[in-house]
Structure 1
Amino acid sequence: MASASGEAEENAAEVKIGEEFLKAKCLMNAEVALILEKKYDQLQQVSEDASCQVSQVFERSLQYATQSSRYKNPGAVKQVRDVLSRNSLSEFEHKGRGLHDEKIDIMLSNLASIRKLE
């Protein structure tokens, strides 16, 4: 499908997301929250008045990532990433890949175990 400019439309479901994202990695909200929290802490160390250094968009992004994250502990976040990597999920997992129900059940069980330890 082409847009008015003649370029192909970006579509994450079909992994058509634009040239600049081809080498980018997807992050879980928990990973984004950890990154933003670290940056926020760095900004607080630089200036005693962190609100001068942090934009409203940054604050809202941090708030969203923190609230929507299922995992808060950095160790748990790493374990979740390891589980997902071991199961050979692609960056943009989509329908039709043929993952077996048993493999999915094991993966979900592993993720649930990590969640219980939080």
Structure 2
Amino acid sequence: MNSEVAIILDHKYEQLQQISDDPANKISQVFEKSLQYVKRFSRYKNPDAVRQVREILSKYQLAEFELCVLGNLCPDTVEEEAIAMVSSIKTKGRIHEDDQIEKLLHDLSLIKKFE
């Protein structure tokens, strides 16, 4: 998820800042732009909230890309948003009940609300 990448890159940025006195250790523009992007599009800023989101989504046996899409976009409705964006969450043998998807979305919204 963007939030996870933001935490990782932010930590790396702090490390690079500490050793940036040496001109050979310049921070690249690509790195800085990537950090700006994931920070801008991160739904969750608090590392504990990011961990909770991953834990909640992991309970639903989602593929990694499904987990990331739902965690990044935080859809509000089941049919119009969640299933439209990630239609594979309704496949047989996994989340196939709308009420399960509704609970997942509700859990995510609670984390965002109390962050």
TM-score, normalised to structure 1's length? 0.70
* Number of aligned positions between the proteins: 90
Structure 2 residue identity aligned to 1:109? H
Q: Percent identity?
A: 53
Q: Does residue 1:90 correspond to 2:59, yes or no?
A: no
1:33-52 aligned at under 5 Å gives the runs 33-48=6-21
Distance 2:62 2:9 in 1: 25
Give unmatched runs, 5+ long, in structure 2: 67-85
Map of 1:79 onto structure 2 = 52
Structure 1 runs (4+) deviating above 3 angstroms are none
Tell me the C-alpha RMSD between the 2 structures.
1.7
Q: Does residue 1:109 correspond to 2:82, yes or no?
A: no
Larger Rg: 1
Distance 2:100 2:20 in 1: 49
Task: Give CA deviations for 1:17-65 in whole Å, capped at 9, x if unaligned.
Answer: xxxxxxxxxxx00000000000000001112479x52111100000000
TM-score, normalised to structure 2's length? 0.72
Distance 2:63 2:55 in 1: 13
- 1 or 2, which has the higher helix percentage? 2
Structure 2 residue identity aligned to 1:69? S
Give unmatched runs, 5+ long, in structure 1: 1-27
